Structure 1
Amino acid sequence: MGIWVGGALLVGWLTTIVVSINNEPPGGASNLNALEEHTITALHTQDADALQLLFTEDSVADEYAANYLNRLGKTAAKNARGTVKKSSGASFIVVDGPGTCTAWQVVETEKRWYLDGTPPVLNTLCSHSEKRR
C-alpha cells in the first residue's frame, strides 16, 4: 500500500512541475516598444522577477535584476525614465533617473525582444540632451 501512495505522490509532483513549466510566462517582449514599457514598469513596481525575465538567458546572473534594483534604490527605481536609442546600428534601452543611467542593448531572438546584460562600450547613450518620457 505504501508503494502505491508513494508512486501516486511522485506522479502528482511530476505533473505539477510539468504544468508549471508549461505555464511559465515567456521572457522578453513581443516588440521593442513593449520591451521598453515592461522594463520601466518592472523598475517602477520594483519587480525583480519581471525584470529578470526581460534579459537574455545567458547575459546576466540569476540574481542580476534583484541586485540591480537593490543598488538602484526605491526612489531612483520609481522615478526611472526609459527611451529607445540607436547607436552604431544597434538598439538600446536607456534607463535614467535621479543619479543613475543604464543602457542595455536590445536583441531579437525567435520573434521575442530581450535586454542583453553585456554593458555597451559606447559612453554617449546617457546624454541628457534628448527628450525622455
Structure 2
Amino acid sequence: MRQLLYISTATPGAAIDISGILATSLRNNRRDGVTGLLWTDERRFLQALEGSEDAIQSALLRIKFDTRHRGIVVLQDRAIAIREFGAWEMARRGPADTADAFDGRMRQYLSGASPSVRGTFEGLIAARRAA
C-alpha cells in the first residue's frame, strides 16, 4: 500500500467549491479504495492519500490536472503496511467552528498517523494560528 502527502495552493481567482470537491473526491476515492485526510482553509490544501499504487497514481494525476490549484508539492511518498486513516475524512473549519474546536478535531483525525505525517499537518495548523 502507498501513502502520498502533498500540499497545494488554490489558483488565484479559481472558484473553489469545497462541497463539490468533497462530493467528487468521495465518489472517486470510494470507487478506487483510497482513504486519507484532506485539510483545507479554502486557500491551501494538505492531503494524505492511502491506497494501492495504481489508485494513488491515478489520484495524483487527477490532482495535477485540476486547474483549481497550483504549486503541488509532494512532501512524502512511501510504502505503508496498514492505513493510518481508516476512512476518508475532509477537515474543514466551518463558519460556526472555533479554531480550538477545529484543531481538536484535526488532532483526533491524526491520532493514528505516523509522526512525520502528523507533524506536517500540525505544522500547517500552527502556521495558520500564528497568522
Q: Same fold (TM over 0.5)?
A: no
Instruction: Give the strand-richer structure, 1 or 2.
Output: 2
Larger Rg: 1
The higher-RCO structure (CA 8 Å, 6+ apart) is 2
Q: TM-score, normalised by structure 1?
A: 0.29
Q: TM-score, normalised by structure 2?
A: 0.29
